[in-house]
Structure 1
């Protein structure tokens, strides 16, 4: 998609949302839900089931899509120009967060803990999700120019494990158009 020229907050969020959802949809690791979330904390995971099933994901098929990806604004920061005579706020920066949460292999219905191989597979699946998040930002905001209009706040922070899910969140700061 390339560099985003108009940096108004709604357009930045909408563009990142499209890039994130398109990246996961085109991958071998699709998510069930991809959305824009407004809230002070990361979005909750409603349940841990493979897409389109009603059964809990206690041993989900290896290739069953699951989880969710999101975009949210974590804060908007006024930038004050100390050189200006009245020290006015003359621009703003937004911190955007993108993330993904997925089901982990859990204790089976027979009460058996995940095997070492399953735990290792979950870890490598999480690393594949990290790459998809990075790719969505690269495609959306950097493109081929290598001149990103953003500053990284967090280049991949693990989320969880908690409640049977785990994932990643990235945060980056973008200068907004005035």
Structure 2
């Protein structure tokens, strides 16, 4: 088991995302880190309790060939993700130049606007249908149950290339969540 050295991270900007997509360090092995399906992060069997630490790790998360890695300028270690590495914890309606839109905030303080920065779909995890949004580098975030229930109050009839039914319209884009039978 590898422990990631945090070398090179001191040069990271204090806000925003580091340029992980520009880094090509060698693979250094597996790390005993798991992101559980409920969004909790564990290292060496114990829950990481400091939100700032989870957020820092989330900023160096990379997705490649269906695997997740923590990447620094000098090393790359594989971690395990049970479902989605991010969890949408909050949402609100905002106004954009594209019209009314949903703004999502993840538990790691990523802010995305549905229809502009991300898309929404229903997927399956362990035979349970769950809502997800797209994230950076091909990753996804699970939309928390409380968020999804809050959004359900805004469902309206939509028609997309996938069919007709109930869904959400955000920034002028329609998202089908419950297809007509």
- TM-score by shorter chain over 0.5: no
Which structure is larger by alpha-carbon Rg, 1 or 2? 1
Which structure ranks higher in relative contact order (CA pairs < 8 Å, sequence separation ≥ 6)?
1
TM-score (norm 2): 0.21
TM-score (norm 1): 0.22
Structure that is richer in helix per residue: 1
Structure that is richer in strand per residue: 2
